[in-house]
A and B are shown apart, each in its own frame.
Chain A
Amino acid sequence: KQEVTQIPAALSVPEGENLVLNCSFTDSAIYNLQWFRQDPGKGLTSLLLIQSSQREQTSGRLNASLDKSSGRSTLYIAASQPGDSATYLCAVSKGSYIPTFGRGTSLIVHP
């Protein structure tokens, strides 16, 4: 059974810091890995999708890497802003896009 772990569970940083959020998974035979953002009580917004054959994806200030063999992914947020405050979820899927989610990292960026 696939298990996804996200570290840290919570993070509070001042504005402007560069951040690294970690995601690990137990079964490396994945189809893809996706990072989502979730604002309190809201749905999920897809940030980055990395296919199993890829090693990283970038979008603006966000960069996600994937090391399938070691079962790890990192989400790098450059120059954090208060608007980045949210919960960040990592999800891996093994075909048919039925993802297994981690519990998320709750991020607060204070001015």
Chain B
Amino acid sequence: ETGVTQSPTHLIKTRGQQVTLRCSSQSGHNTVSWYQQALGQGPQFIFQYYREEENGRGNFPPRFSGLQFPNYSSELNVNALELDDSALYLCASSLYSSGNTDTQYFGPGTRLTVL
């Protein structure tokens, strides 16, 4: 059983650029969530995808968008990067069935630095 993987591990961008972060879910999982964790803070929920549809969104602007693919891998896209977008971006996968969601399994994260 493979765990959750994320790529790249580190990324440096400049203000105004666009970035795509990738996540590969744990085998058998059908739900993926993305979180932003600023230094010294707890993770903040960005959004969740279930069966390729957005299934919940936190307090993030529309320039944060996502995709979930048929193989349950996922992308997080951020447009018009701002300095405050510098953070660790975490992906987590889980299995949702019969109205219940199992615990989430987190990937190692992508460290994004915006200069």
Q: Write the residues of chain A forming the contact surface with B, with a CB cutoff of 8 angstroms.
A: 4, 34, 36, 41-46, 49, 89, 91, 96-104
Contact = CB atoms under 8 A, between A and B. Distances in A.
A49 B106 contact: no
Given A43-B106, A46-B105, A49-B103, A98 B56 contact: yes
Nearest to B42: A101
Looking at A41, A98, A102, A103, which has the most chain B CB atoms within 10 Å of its CB?
A: A98
Interface stretch (B14-22, B72-80, B107-115): B107-115
Contacts of A4: 42
Interface string B21-61: 00000000001010000001111110010000001101000
Contacts, number: 54
Contacts of B48: 96, 98
Contacts of B109: 41-43
Contacts of B107: 43
Contact of B40 (A34, A45, A103): A103
A12 B42 CA distance: 20
Contacts of A98: 33, 45, 48, 56, 58
A89 to B, nearest CB: 6
B42 A103 contact: yes
B106 A44 contact: yes
Given A41-B88, A43-B90, A101 B43 contact: yes
Interface of B: 4, 6, 31, 33, 40-45, 48, 55-56, 58, 88, 90, 92, 94, 96, 101, 103-109, 111
Given A42-B108, A98-B56, A104 B103 contact: no
Contacts of A49: 103
4 nearest A-B residue pairs (beta carbon): A101-B42, A97-B101, A43-B106, A44-B106
Contacts of B56: 96, 98
Given A99-B45, A104-B42, A43 B108 contact: yes
Contacts of B42: 4, 89, 91, 101-104
25 contacts: A4-B42, A34-B103, A36-B106, A42-B109, A43-B6, A43-B108, A44-B43, A44-B90, A45-B106, A46-B103, A46-B105, A46-B106, A49-B103, A89-B42, A91-B42, A96-B48, A96-B56, A97-B96, A97-B101, A97-B103, A98-B33, A99-B45, A100-B45, A103-B40, A103-B42
